[in-house]
Amino acid sequence: MYCRNCGAQIDDKAEICPKCGVRNKASPTGEKNPGIAAIASFFFTGLGQIYNGEIGKGIMFMIIGGVFLLLMFVLIGFILYPLFWIYNIYDAYRTAERINLSG
Ligand SMILES: [Zn+2]
């Protein structure tokens, strides 16, 4: 294969071109920014998961988040929702990291 930056012929398995130092290997899923994933989930439960490409999980998180939000009327949601919200941010961050490492 050839470097997409300088055009030098490089090894197929080379991630970084030895000539110009530019990264060539793109992960099949694409790079995910853990910060963006966490911020997305910060503003809306499940959004970071969808950003990470986990659509089903994201929708599930939105539903769970909505249920816990409704449970605030019976007070238990005040405990469940913040816990789930923190887990949702953590999960989005870690999943994005994992995608980058496996790519
Ligand atoms: Zn190069």
Largest CA distance in the chain: 65
Q: Which stretches of 1-103 are assigned E, i.e. beta strand?
A: none
pTM, two decimals, is 0.69
pLDDT in tens, 44-79: 999 999 999 999 999 999 999 999 999 999 999 999
Distance 25 CA to ligand 1 centre (A): 12
The full set of domain ranges for the chain reads 1-30, 34-102
**Residue 35: how many CB atoms within 10 A of its CB?**
11
Would you state the pLDDT for residue 103?
Answer: 54
Distance 22 CA to ligand 1 centre (A): 6
Q: Which two tokens stand for residue 68?
A: 């816990």
- How far, rounded to the nearest angstrom, does the alpha carbon of residue 93 sit from its chain's CA centroid? 6
Distance 33 CA to ligand 1 centre (A): 24
Would you state the pLDDT for residue 3?
Answer: 85
The stretch 71-94 carries a mean pLDDT of 95
Tell me the residue type at 28.
P
Give residues whose Cβ lies within 5 Å of ion ligand 1: 3, 5-6, 8, 17, 19-20
The stretch 28-36 carries a mean pLDDT of 80
